[in-house]
Amino acid sequence: MLLNLFAILALIFTFILVLSACVCLFYRVPYVPTKKRLIETLLKTAKPHKGQTIYDLGCGDGRLLFAAEKKYHTKCIGYELSPIAYFLAMKTG
């Protein structure tokens, strides 16, 4: 029973992963990482405060969010369609 549930969950996960990869290929959205110097400039301009929430749509590997959380102690929420960038963010974070 537990093995069947695990197999179903694995199939669902695989389906979602393939579907999201197809969406990224269909829209031809490239993954372009933000340079460290630009991240510093963005954060200096935004001047986030401790406890503030930062949302990043298309966050990629999350480097902007990780920098904001580390330097300014903000709460960060990122959204990403690309499964590759998502797994990079999970590995980095």
Structure pTM? Answer: 0.68
CB 21 within 8 A of CB 83: yes
Coil vs helix vs strand at 76: strand
Structure tokens at 59: 């966050």
DSSP for 12-66 reads: HHHHHHHHHHHHHHHHT----PPPHHHHHHHHHHH---TT-EEEEET-TT-HHHH
Task: Scan for tokens 């401790």, then name that residue.
Answer: 50
Encode pLDDT of 18-32 as tens digits.
777 777 677 677 777
Please indicate, yes or no, whether residues 44 and 85 belong to a single structural domain of this protein.
yes
Please indicate, yes or no, whether residues 81 and 93 belong to a single structural domain of this protein.
yes
Please indicate, yes or no, whether residues 22 and 36 belong to a single structural domain of this protein.
no
pLDDT at 11 over 70: yes
* Number of neighbouring beta carbons within 10 Å of residue 48: 18
Domain range holding 40?
31-93
Give me the number of domains the chain comprises.
2
Please indicate, yes or no, whether residues 63 and 87 belong to a single structural domain of this protein.
yes
pLDDT of 10: 86
Encode pLDDT of 57-85 as tens digits.
888 889 999 999 999 999 999 988 777 77
